[in-house]
């Protein structure tokens, strides 16, 4: 095997795609800043007990681990950034009011999350700490939608927002607190909408609770599902609050983003141990892999001593870029190298004014992918002037 072969699901990013990814990164951060989100840059590695605290075991298998030769402690390479931002909010900023934070940086996964996904995503995310009201969910969902529209994602295919709430399944199970069930098995049966698997996973539960769990399998579709859920599910406080919030979110998103297709899937129990309220995923119509995932996760900061309300989302900038065609190569000025001081000063002035100037050295041209040189720097009457390539 060649020494230059990269690990599976790890890849170099070449110039055209790198330009697009960087354009996306800047645009996404600018969009978040327009909402008032402040940029933070957590470290790539951290002590493992801090990195995984409060996430349950969800990220444990996804996290690369190593020994710190300075301290002897185990370090982890972050597989997600939310826990680090929660630590920053709790211990470094320590604000009493609402904190709006965003980030964009690489994360590393031991295994790809999807069949063709990179194990080194460039994760962009935005989070609100300190606000428990539904307005925070609405702002985060609106920012996620605006973020997708701000970049060149092919949204003309149509965006689909899939909403659910993490409180519904726990509320149903709480009707029989003495019964121990395999939560992961139950969750997988609900997500796959496998009635037989659900029956096996829920067989220890009372008949009424099993029927209610089975009812979730059919509670999928447009916003009318919320009304059907009110009839099919018990009138428990947590369920009523969850359905009220979902209905409120849908109503407001439909007003501001009428082109978005809204779907409700109350059987989607993914993130059972992480999320604590409304959850959403954004898809391009016809695609099975989500572009964005987010929701409310109020318990994320509890292990850091500040159990603050929290809601946010994240996406992979590389995945967005792979779905789009790289833009045209940037226009540039070609300049044949000269030793003269006035030539060098002219080139510096052009670059300071925002122009891209590519110098060609004797006997060498410009690589095709570098830029589109549509102008050239020529000497006229003792002065260096820029002319169109055709006029040179």
Q: What is the pLDDT of residue 286?
A: 82
Q: Tokens for 356, please give them.
A: 């891209």
- Gap between the Cα atoms of 115 and 105, Å rounded: 22
Is the pLDDT score of 371 beyond 70? no
pLDDT tens digits, one per residue of 314-336: 999 999 998 887 777 778 999 99
pLDDT tens digits, one per residue of 156-168: 678 999 999 999 9
Q: What is the pLDDT of residue 370?
A: 59
pTM, full prediction? 0.89
Is the pLDDT score of 1 beyond 70? no
Could you tell me where the DSSP H helices lie in the chain?
Answer: 15-34, 48-51, 82-87, 134-150, 168-173, 183-191, 195-201, 207-217, 224-232, 237-256, 317-322, 341-352
Q: Cβ(64)–Cβ(110) under 8 Å?
A: yes
Q: Hey, how many other C-beta atoms are within 10 angstroms of the C-beta on 371?
A: 19
Is the pLDDT score of 193 beyond 90? yes
Q: Cβ(190)–Cβ(169) under 8 Å?
A: yes
For residue 381, which phi and psi values (nearest 5 degrees)? 55, 35
Which residues partner with 334 through β-bridges?
A: 358, 376
Average pLDDT across the chain, whole number: 90
Rg (C-alpha) for the chain, rounded Å, is 26
Q: Which of 312, 326, 236, 315 has the alpha carbon at shortest distance from 278? A: 312
> Hey, is 183 helix, strand or coil?
helix
Q: Name the pLDDT band for 272 (thresholds 50, 70, 90).
A: low
Q: Name the pLDDT band for 271 (thresholds 50, 70, 90).
A: low
Between 3-17, 68-82, 133-147, the lowest mean confidence (pLDDT) is in 3-17
Q: Cβ(310)–Cβ(298) under 8 Å?
A: yes
Which residues partner with 47 through β-bridges?
A: 75
Q: What is the pLDDT of residue 366?
A: 61
Is the pLDDT score of 55 beyond 60? no
State the residue for tokens 């850091």: 304
Is the pLDDT score of 338 beyond 90? yes
pLDDT above 70: percentage of residues in the chain: 94
Q: What is the pLDDT of residue 273?
A: 66
Is the pLDDT score of 285 beyond 80? yes
Q: What is the pLDDT of residue 114?
A: 83
Spatial CB neighbours of 59, under 8 Å, sequence gap ≥ 6: 51, 52, 79, 80, 83
Q: Tokens for 143, please give them.
A: 């920012």
Which residues partner with 162 through β-bridges?
A: 263, 281
């Amino acid at each position: 095997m060649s020494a230059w072969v990269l690990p599976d699901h790890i890849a170099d990013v070449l110039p055209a795609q790198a330009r697009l990814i960087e354009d996306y990164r800047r645009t996404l951060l600018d969009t978040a800043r327009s909402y008032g989100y402040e940029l933070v840059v957590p470290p790539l590695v951290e002590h493992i007990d801090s990195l995984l605290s409060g996430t349950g075991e969800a990220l444990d298998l996804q996290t690369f681990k190593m020994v710190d030769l300075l301290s002897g402690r185990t370090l982890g390479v972050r597989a997600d950034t939310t826990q680090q931002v929660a630590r920053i909010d709790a211990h470094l900023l320590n604000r009493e009011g609402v904190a709006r934070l965003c980030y964009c940086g690489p994360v590393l996964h031991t295994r790809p999350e999807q069949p063709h996904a990179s194990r080194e995503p460039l994760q962009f995310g935005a989070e609100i700490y300190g606000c428990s009201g539904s307005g925070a969910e609405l702002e985060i969902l609106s920012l996620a939608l605006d973020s997708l529209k701000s970049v060149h994602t092919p949204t003309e295919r149509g965006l689909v927002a899939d909403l659910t709430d993490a409180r519904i399944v726990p509320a149903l199970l709480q009707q029989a607190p003495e019964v121990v069930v395999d939560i992961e098995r139950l969750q997988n049966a609900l997500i796959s909408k496998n009635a037989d698997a659900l029956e096996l996973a829920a067989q220890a539960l009372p008949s009424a609770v099993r029927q209610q769990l089975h009812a979730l399998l059919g509670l999928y579709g447009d916003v009318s599902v919320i009304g059907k859920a009110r009839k099919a599910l018990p009138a428990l406080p947590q369920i009523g609050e969850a359905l009220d919030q979902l209905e409120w979110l849908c109503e407001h998103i439909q007003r501001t983003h009428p082109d978005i297709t809204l779907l409700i899937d109350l059987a989607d129990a993914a993130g059972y141990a992480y999320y604590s309220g409304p959850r959403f995923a954004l898809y391009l119509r016809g695609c099975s892999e989500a572009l964005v995932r987010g929701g409310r996760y109020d318990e994320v900061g509890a292990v850091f001593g500040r159990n603050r309300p929290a809601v946010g989302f994240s996406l992979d900038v590389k995945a967005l870029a792979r779905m789009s065609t790289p833009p045209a190569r940037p226009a540039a000025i070609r300049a044949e190298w000269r030793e003269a001081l006035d030539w060098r000063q002219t080139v510096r002035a052009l670059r300071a004014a925002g122009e891209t100037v590519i110098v060609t050295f004797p006997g060498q041209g410009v690589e095709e992918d570098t830029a589109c040189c549509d102008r050239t720097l020529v000497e006229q009457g003792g002065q260096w002037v820029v002319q169109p390539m055709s006029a040179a």
